[in-house]
Amino acid sequence: MFIDDLRADLDEIDRLGLTRRRRALGSPCGPRVQRDGREYLSFCSNDYLGLAADPALRAAIADGAQQWGAGAGASHLVSGHYAAHDVLESALAAFCGCERAISFSTGYMANLAAVATLAGRGDAIFADRLNHASLVDGALLSRARLCRYPHTDLSQLARLLETTPARRRVIVSDTVFSMDGDLAPLPGLLDLAERHDALLILDDAHGLGVLGPEGRGSLAHFDLCSPRVVLIGTLGKAAGLAGAFIAGDGRVIEWLVQRARSYIFTTAAPPALAHALLTSLLLIRGADEARARLRQLIDRLRGGLSARRWRLADSATPIQPLIVGGNREALALSAALDEAGVWVPAIRPPTVPEGTARLRISLSAAHSYADVDRLLELLRGLEAAP
Ligand SMILES: *Cc1c(COP(=O)(O)O)cnc(C)c1O
């Protein structure tokens, strides 16, 4: 029977050490959270600037709800598009140095829209092997041919671009890879896009707010600007709230308004959120001190681990993966930290390649040196244990 098959599949997942459990938090997002009746020091969130619980942002949501009500009531192309969305989209476009932007409810939906609407049957998508799942799903939805190149390997990408028979070419990459923390070679990618007349779709989920002057993101970090670039930013990470956007050339954005199914066939995000996101943008722009502190925390963590048994991946961003290898070993390490009141998630396949299970340590400007030292002390102890 169908349901019995599912039970067997679940048992198999469990046997492989891949069962995942949700943990209900009893307090707001921050370095310290309540869980299971206990306080934990958390290195789990993508709240890189500590904005998720910021008093100004909380007040902005409340203010937005007072002004615009609770829900949008309809999709953007019917009656769910509010002046607050327009103002936000203009601010996002200006922030990223692009002509126009379109806002989405989530990054997952923005990525589906960008990839599946800008590539189609007869086209070819060239995607980094470690791209976020939402970009892969967008490629599958598009019906274009999907060619995956080895992680950040520009010469393999060049070879694929040279030999493709496709009518149109789209290169797709994360800017900061979500499970590895490393940066895509953006100047090289843009150069190849120009040489092969390709569109370059970049997912800046982990760069926006963190990298570049005023936190303007990965493109600003590399001082790049091109109408070929279609930029996705998400607003639930450094921006501390929720939502996402696609920014780029005005014609590209208009095409998305007309055709993107994950934009058209869904209720618009509450205008109150759009209103509050303007405050997020202001806070991000003014957060140079927080970004400097974040860099110091990254240096402190990296300087304090000896890489004897477990290796920190080569990352200069707040995503600091400790590569452990086996699923059970990664889970055991995470459990040992948990026991000590420190919460670091174990990331296992299929989120990461087989044999590279890891602890994904994620730092926030809201952490203190003492927080990082506590984690280091525990990891050193566990590394020395048999
Ligand atoms: C989190 C994430 C997304 C999805 O964004 P949501 O707003 O959480 O849906 C997309 N791409 C990358 C690289 C991410 O890390």
Element of type H or E holding 216: none
Domain 19-49+288-384 belongs in CATH node 3.90.1150.10 = yes
Q: What tens digit of pLDDT does each residue of 295-320 get?
A: 999 999 999 987 678 989 999 999 99
Given this model, what pLDDT does residue 20 score? Answer: 86
In the block, residue with structure tokens 């671009």: 161
Give the residue from 81, 127, 83, 141 showing the smallest Cα distance to 105. 81
In the block, residue with structure tokens 């070679």: 185
Tell me which of 208 and 349 has the higher pLDDT: 208
Measured torsion, CA atoms of residues 69, 73, 77, 81, in degrees rounded to the nearest 10: 0
pLDDT at 241 over 90: yes
Determine how β-strand 169-174 pairs with β-strand 124-128: parallel
Average pLDDT for 96-117: 98
pLDDT at 124 over 80: yes
Question: Are residues 184 and 177 in contact, defined by beta-carbon separation less than 8 angstroms?
Answer: yes
pLDDT at 204 over 80: yes
Given this model, what pLDDT does residue 307 score? Answer: 67
Q: ∠ at Cα 314 (309, 319), nearest 5°?
A: 95
50-54, 70-74, 190-194, 325-329: which range is least confident on average? 325-329
Catalytic positions, written as ranges: 178, 206, 237
Nearest CA to ligand 1 atom 10: 107
Q: ∠ at Cα 110 (351, 26), nearest 5°?
A: 60
pLDDT at 329 over 80: yes
State whether residue 183 is helix, strand or coil.
strand
Q: What is the pTM of this model?
A: 0.97
How does residue 199 score in pLDDT terms, banded at 50, 70 and 90?
Answer: very high
Given this model, what pLDDT does residue 308 score? Answer: 75
**Do 19-49+288-384 and 55-285 agree at the fold level?**
no
For 170, counting Cβ atoms within 10 Å of its Cβ (0-12 exposed, 13-18 middle, 19+ buried), the class is: buried
C-alpha gyration radius of the chain: 21
Given this model, what pLDDT does residue 88 score? Answer: 98
Q: Which residues line ligand 1 (CB under 6 A)?
A: 106-108, 111, 132, 134, 174, 178, 203, 205-206, 234, 236, 244
Average pLDDT for 32-47: 97
In the block, residue with structure tokens 């902005």: 60
pLDDT at 272 over 80: yes
How does residue 18 score in pLDDT terms, banded at 50, 70 and 90?
Answer: confident
Q: Which of 178, 201, 263, 266 to mutate to test the pocket of ligand 1 (most atoms within 8 A of CB)?
A: 178
Q: What tens digit of pLDDT does each residue of 141-179 get?
A: 999 999 999 999 999 999 999 999 999 999 999 999 999
Nearest CA to ligand 1 atom 7: 107
Query: Any idea which architecture 55-285 has in CATH?
Result: 3-Layer(aba) Sandwich (3.40)
| Mean pLDDT (the chain, rounded) | 96
Assess whether the previous peptide bond of 350 is cis (omega < 30° from 0). Answer: yes
Residues 244, 242: Cα–Cα separation, whole Å: 7
State whether residue 232 is helix, strand or coil.
strand
Average pLDDT for 182-191: 98
Query: How many C-beta atoms lie closer than 10 Å to residue 80's C-beta?
Result: 18
In total, the chain counts a number of residues equal to 386
Average pLDDT for 42-55: 98
pLDDT at 386 over 90: no
Domain-wise residue ranges, the chain: 19-49+288-384, 55-285
Average pLDDT for 224-239: 97
Q: Which of 234, 245, 277, 360 to mutate to test the pocket of ligand 1 (most atoms within 8 A of CB)?
A: 234
Beta bridge partners of 233: 245
Given this model, what pLDDT does residue 174 score? Answer: 98
